Amino acid sequence: MGKLLAENEAKRLHFPPPLLLCFAMLMAWQTGVIRFSNETFSLDGGTSLPISVGDLTFIVAAGYILSIIWMIFLPRLIVWAQRLTVGAALLSTAAFYLPLSHETLQIIFYFHVFCSIFLLGFENAVITYLFREQTAMWFITLAYALAMLITAVLQNDAFSIPFPVFRIFMVLATALQLFFYCRLPSKVWPRYSTKKDDLICPRYFFIGLFALGAIGFLMSLFGITIAETIPNGESFFYGALSVGLILVFVLWKGLGIPALRIGSVSVVISALGFMLALLSLYVPSLSLLVCFALGCGGIVGLFVPFFCLTLAKIYPSRFISPIMVALCFGAILLHGTLLEAFRDKVQIMYASYLVIAVGLALLYLALEPYLTYSYREKPQDEPDDKVSPEDTSSAMPEVLQSHASERLTAQELRVAELSLRGFSYTEIAKALGLAPNTVKWYQKSLYSKLQINSKRELFAIAEKYSAATKPSEKPEPKRLLLRRQ
């Protein structure tokens, strides 16, 4: 059962921070080419372009749809698609320095919008299937922080960003991305699960993480929409998001607090931010505080690739990344629908945001223990090719045994492991070849021996497992790219 997972785990890559920063320029570039145009989804952009840009909805939709189709049918050509797409975008930036016609410049700008959206889906796929867990967390916290900081500067209302500066930004952003894609191996890709691999998919856990990713992305869109209506709000929003990500990184690497657990605080701050947004309609002086709270609360929306990575390590399906990207595209459509429906009923719109934010917080708090456990399930300082993805490692059974009043059986330990990974009774029964009622009996016996009454208490014991497998402080290798052999 673990052969495929171990094989895919051996293909995962590590990249040093400088390369991750190059990769993060996609986010800054995508935000730039859409939100600095004369028209966006909801409000005029911040940079005046020497061309008139119409509705970008069709271009954005085409980028999302084509990337989804490509990820399903041509996954092993994703790296080449990234190289060719961003290379063409880089070459086309030269056109902005030429005295071309208005229509030609408009077409080139639309091309950049399409390329940025098309590549955004591939970004998710690369992180999902090729990044190591710690590398993904470095990217989401540190590299995204830089991208959001750049966006905060470009979105500011204190001084206008002239088009020549924006043009240079487009050149640098695409050039740095191309450098990263050229460093990314083009022939390394995981093997997807088939029926003969006999892997069990934890369906409810999958559904929960898909919902969490889509709602988190939707809440980010809501936060941006509110920030757009406030003078200098977008700059505060993205600045707060950057500061929040850096704080997560410091707490994670410096104090050892799980980054995913810090996300629990983020979703609570997000709900508070939408509550303040509703109150700010009557107390305008709260506006900038609202933007700051929504920015700090938007961190979970950037965790989406990590959710996909977690799923791929359990059940490597070719549909994980396409489904998540499709759900995010659906969130954009829902966001646009709500804007049109409640544009003249701001109180109702903000109240809707608040209700959804509370739902997101509850869902995240329910799933966070599974995510944190999945992230910590193997010693991070051991070579990854020596740790089976389905191995409980030597520490976990001992930790459970140390808390048990009687000796735990092998089946009870397996039930505990799969339960902590998000498998339901039925799925555990299928994986172990048992009847669901037998699994329930094993779990009841497990809880009795551990003297606990809930899964949350089981996760609390698992915390001591993570302490037993805490990584030693070893510097990252300074090679430009490390591949698991």
**CATH code for position 155:** 1.20.1250.20
Residue 236 is assigned to a structural domain of this protein: yes
Q: Is residue 128 part of a domain?
A: yes
pLDDT for 303 equals: 96
Question: Quick one: pLDDT at residue 46?
Answer: 42
Let me know if residue 386 belongs to a domain.
no
Residue 81 pLDDT more than 60? yes
Tell me, what's the pLDDT at 158? Answer: 72
Query: Residue 195: pLDDT band by 50, 70, 90 thresholds?
Result: confident
Whether residue 80 is found in the same domain as residue 167: yes
Residue 54's pLDDT is what? 64
Q: What is the overall mean pLDDT for the chain?
A: 86
For residues 362-391, give the mean pLDDT: 66
Q: Find the mean pLDDT for residues 185-203.
A: 92
| One domain for residues 109 and 246 | yes
| Residue 475 domain flag | no
What is the C-alpha separation between 30 and 158, in angstroms, rounded? 22
Query: Do 366 and 421 share a domain, yes or no?
Result: no
Kindly report the backbone phi and psi dihedral angles of residue 13, in degrees, each rounded to the nearest multiple of 5, phi listed first: -115, 155
Query: Which of 83-92, 148-157, 353-362, 406-415 is the least confident region?
Result: 148-157
For residue 297, give Cα distances in angstroms to 142, 231, 264, 274: 16, 20, 10, 10
- Give me the mean pLDDT over the 147-155 stretch: 87
480 within a domain of the structure (yes/no): no
Q: d(Cα 392, Cα 383) in Å, to the nearest integer?
A: 15
- pLDDT tens digits for range 265-319: 999 999 999 999 999 999 999 999 999 999 999 999 999 999 999 999 999 999 9
Residue pointed to by tokens 């499709």: 326
- Here the tokens at position 196 are 């003969």
Q: Kindly write down the DSSP assignment for every residue of 304-363, as one continuous string.
A: HHHHHHHHHHHS--TTHHHHHHHHHHHHHHHHHHHHHHSTT-HHHHHHHHHHHHHHHHHH
The boundaries of the domain holding residue 9 are: 3-192+201-376
Residues 78 and 150 in one domain: yes
- Provide φ and ψ at 482, rounded to 5°: -115, 130
Answer yes or no: do 321 and 365 share one domain.
Answer: yes
Question: 241 and 327 in one domain?
Answer: yes
Lookup: tokens for 308: 């996909």
Does any domain span residue 48? yes
288 and 409 together in one domain: no
Residues linked to residue 482 through DSSP beta bridges, in sequence order: 14
pLDDT for 391: 43
In contact, 419 and 462? CB cutoff 8 Å: no
Q: Which of the listed residues 376, 405, 421 is the one where a domain comes to its end?
A: 376
Taking residues 164-178, what's their average pLDDT? 92
Report the CATH number that the domain containing residue 457 is assigned in CATH. 1.10.10.10
Instruction: Kindly report which listed range (72-86, 105-119, 438-452) carries the lowest average pLDDT score.
Output: 105-119
6 membership: H or E segment, kind and range: helix 3-9
pLDDT of res. 469: 53
Determine the Cα–Cα distance for residues 67 and 115; give it in Å rounded to an integer. Answer: 10
In-domain check, residue 51: yes
Q: Are residues 401 and 342 in the same domain?
A: no
**413 and 357 both lie in a single domain:** no
Number of domains in the chain: 2
Q: Within this chain, do residues 114 and 232 fall inside the same structural domain, yes or no? A: yes
What is the rounded CA–CA span in Å between residue 465 and residue 461?
A: 7
455 and 417 together in one domain: yes
Domain limit, last residue, from 376, 409, 428: 376
Q: Per the domain annotation, does 150 fall within a domain?
A: yes
- Residue 126 Cα distances to 79, 112, 131, 182, 424, angstroms: 8, 21, 7, 13, 29
Whether 217 and 247 map to the same domain: the answer is yes
> Pick from 319, 333, 145, 315: which is nearest to 246 by CA?
145
pLDDT of res. 337: 87
**For the stretch 189-222, what's the b/e string if a residue is b when 16 or more beta carbons lie within 10 angstroms of its beta carbon?**
bbebbeeeeebbebeebbebbbebbbbbbbbbbb
